[in-house]
Amino acid sequence: MESCGRSVVIAPLLLRSQSRRPLFLRGQSLLQRRFSLSSSQIPSLSSSQVPSLPRGAGEGVKEDARSKLLQVVLVSPQIPGNTGCIARTCAASAVGLHLVGPLGFQVDDARVKRAGLDYWPFVVVKAHSSWAEFREYFRQQEGEKRMIAFTKRGTKIHSDFSYRRGDYLLFGSETSGLPPEALSDCNNETYGGGTIRIPMVETYVRCLNLSVSVGIALYEASRQLNYEQIESAPQGCEPLLTEDIFA
């Protein structure tokens, strides 16, 4: 889903001292504290830099209509483990994945690879340097399509919403949520499908984990579409694993 809404979650005194810093720089500080990273280990977040991808990403599967039935879009994700888990979910559910910069890490980071295990070759993934670049890509795509924003302040509950083929499911940064321009585009009559929320008890929990939110939303959308993209997976492929392993 998105972040907890406002960046007032862990260290109020520190965040007050950073109140004039851009949100993505505040996200960098959160990552440095959480993962004990030095400044040199946090990549530059230049909006003109197209994120790199893990070696071999997408090589084991071809982009086809199946991967375009539903697509997941992560806008400025900050925590590499979340992105790796989401990539694994996209491989399991046969949907496309888009990473929109600036990101809070290198996509070929070891933590991203580890969370995605050896499933990256089976993820149809595209990288975009900025929201404007992704929006132009989206505009050029043929066929029926919508952008749907998942946000804590969504107007409809995820299970009450009617999903369609060609839907792009958008999720924002763990530290600041979706940017205003993305929310605006999702409410636009031309391409927008509106804003969606996943219900939760906010008394105790500020927000759901990003990878959990993607899984909830993606499988509800897939259920409504009768798991068409999964059922039409290529036949005759050797399974990666022969045991039931959950890790």
Question: Which one, of 4, 24, 5, 7, lies nearest residue 15 by Cα?
Answer: 7
Tell whether the torsion through CA atoms of 229, 232, 238 and 239 is positive or negative.
positive
Range 151-168 average pLDDT: 96
Max mean pLDDT among 45-54, 61-70, 153-162 falls in: 153-162
Q: Are 186 and 227 in contact (CB under 8 A)?
A: no
pLDDT at 177: 94
Mean pLDDT along residues 63-80? 82
- The pLDDT value recorded for residue 104 is 87
- What pTM was estimated for this model as a whole? 0.72
Going along the chain from its start, the domains and CATH numbers come out as 70-227 (3.40.1280.10)
Q: What is the mean pLDDT of residues 22-39?
A: 44
- Tell me what the mean pLDDT of segment 217-232 comes to: 93
User: What is the per-residue burial (b if ≥16 Cβ within 10 Å, else e) of 176-200?
Assistant: bbbbeebbebbeeeebbbebbbbee
Task: Identify the residue with better confidence: 237 or 168.
Answer: 168
Q: Can you give the pLDDT at residue 30? A: 43
Beta-carbon contacts of 136 under 8 Å, excluding residues fewer than 6 positions away, are none
pLDDT band at 234 (very low <50, low <70, confident <90, very high): low
Closest of 96, 183, 194, 182 to residue 131, by C-alpha: 182
pLDDT of residue 113: 62
Separation between Cα atoms, residue 50 and residue 127, nearest integer Å: 6
What whole-number percentage of the chain has pLDDT above 70? 62
Residue 215, pLDDT above cutoff 90: yes
Q: Quick one: tokens of 150? A: 């998942």
Average of per-residue pLDDT across 184-212: 93
